[in-house]
């Protein structure tokens, strides 16, 4: 199954544009996904206007429901489609827009949501929550460079999450290890063990590697594909046991439409760390784009086995379902 072109083509049916939006969404091409959904709505309305107001109203309601579903999928997938830096829900948005353009970012996202059929009141509520969370993250003080002593398992677990958000993987590793040691069979000890296994690099990495990976991630979010590719490839050459740049490079290849290269590089990431959740998620996307839907579902099932609390599974599965149904039809 060929991946869609960089430019949204003309002349498709509403169903064709809807399927195209799902493909673009899996690739991480959000602007094209929005444009495809907009065209699906416009073509649907044009067709409805030729056969009467009743059909037009029915199509409008259907379009709103589908727009809501896809817009929420799009926003949920922004972080996973962007790649691996911190695991903060808003990391991709912060890196893409920066602290001085939150207003512009809000306007853009609001326009996209409304274009996709989300009621204005719902869009405003979502954006209020989003901007509040981003502001809280930017204004919060970073944790200390050295992991504090004498904390509870829950406190160590929270520190581990905060360190990971900053890209300080070794402090995160230490904090999570302390949470496990403090409460090996309790709730936070188990959460820490799962997070350590699935979200932290399998082997220790130096700070320079972490920061270089974040630099490449920022290049990717800014649309600098050539620069991001050079950064990740150089990082892989120097630190071949560090799985994150493999995952990021695989994600970049998906965005570029080179699914074969994406799958090869993601396989290397999983050879390093079989519990690397992001690599499994990216592989699920790549297999779906390649028309291998059963393999895509297998990857998602693997994520469920590794980390049943992973929040991206449902959104990706819905998109794969949408493409698979349309492909069969």
pLDDT in tens, 130-161: 667 666 656 667 889 899 999 999 999 999 99
Residues 6+ apart with CB under 8 A from 2: none
Domains of the chain: 153-199 (no CATH), 207-328 (1.25.40.10)
The pLDDT of residue 56 is 43
Tens of pLDDT along 213-233? 989 988 888 889 999 999 999
80 versus 195: the higher-pLDDT residue is 195
pLDDT confidence of 121, banded at 50, 70, 90? confident
CA dihedral for 8, 105, 278, 306, sign (positive or negative): negative
Give the Å distances, CA to CA, from 46 to 14, 33, 113, 166: 10, 20, 21, 48
Evaluate if residue 329 carries a pLDDT over 70.
no
DSSP 8-state code for residue 99 = G
DSSP 8-state code for residue 309 = T
The pLDDT of residue 136 is 63
- The vertex-255 CA angle with 202 and 291, nearest 5°, equals 90
Please list, residue by residue across 203-227, b when 16 or more beta carbons sit within 10 angstroms of its beta carbon and e when fewer do. eebeeebbebbbbbbbbbbeeeeee
Tens of pLDDT along 60-106? 444 444 444 444 444 444 444 445 554 333 344 444 433 334 455 56
* Alpha carbon 317 to its chain's center: 13
């Amino acid at each position: 199954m060929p991946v869609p072109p960089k430019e949204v083509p003309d002349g498709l049916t509403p169903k064709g544009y809807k399927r195209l939006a799902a493909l673009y969404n899996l690739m991480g091409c959000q602007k094209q996904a929005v444009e495809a959904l907009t065209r699906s709505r416009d073509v649907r309305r044009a067709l409805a206007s030729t056969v009467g107001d009743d059909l037009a109203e029915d199509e409008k309601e259907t379009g709103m429901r589908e727009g809501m579903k896809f817009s929420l999928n799009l926003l949920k997938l922004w972080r996973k489609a962007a790649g691996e830096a911190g695991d903060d829900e808003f990391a991709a948005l912060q890196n893409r827009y920066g602290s001085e353009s939150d207003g512009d970012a809000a306007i853009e996202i609001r326009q996209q949501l409304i274009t996709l059929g989300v009621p204005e009141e719902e869009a405003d509520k979502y954006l209020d929550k989003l901007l509040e969370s981003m502001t809280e993250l930017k204004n919060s003080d970073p944790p200390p460079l050295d992991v504090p002593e004498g904390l509870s398992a829950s406190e160590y677990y929270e520190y581990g999450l905060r360190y990971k958000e900053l890209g300080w993987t070794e402090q995160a590793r230490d904090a999570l290890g302390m949470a496990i040691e403090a409460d090996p069979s309790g709730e936070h000890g188990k959460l820490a063990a799962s997070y350590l296994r699935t979200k932290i690099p399998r082997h220790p990495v130096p700070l320079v590697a972490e920061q270089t990976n974040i630099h490449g991630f920022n290049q990717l979010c800014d649309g600098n594909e050539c620069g991001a590719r050079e950064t990740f490839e150089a990082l892989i050459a120097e630190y071949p046991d560090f799985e994150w740049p493999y995952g990021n490079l695989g994600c970049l290849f998906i965005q570029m439409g080179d699914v074969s290269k994406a799958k090869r590089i993601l396989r290397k990431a999983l050879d390093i760390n079989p519990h690397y959740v992001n690599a499994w998620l990216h592989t699920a996307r790549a297999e779906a784009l390649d028309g291998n839907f059963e393999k895509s579902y297998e990857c998602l099932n693997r994520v469920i086995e590794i980390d049943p609390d992973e929040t991206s599974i449902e959104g990706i599965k819905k998109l794969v379902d949408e493409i698979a149904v349309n492909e069969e039809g």
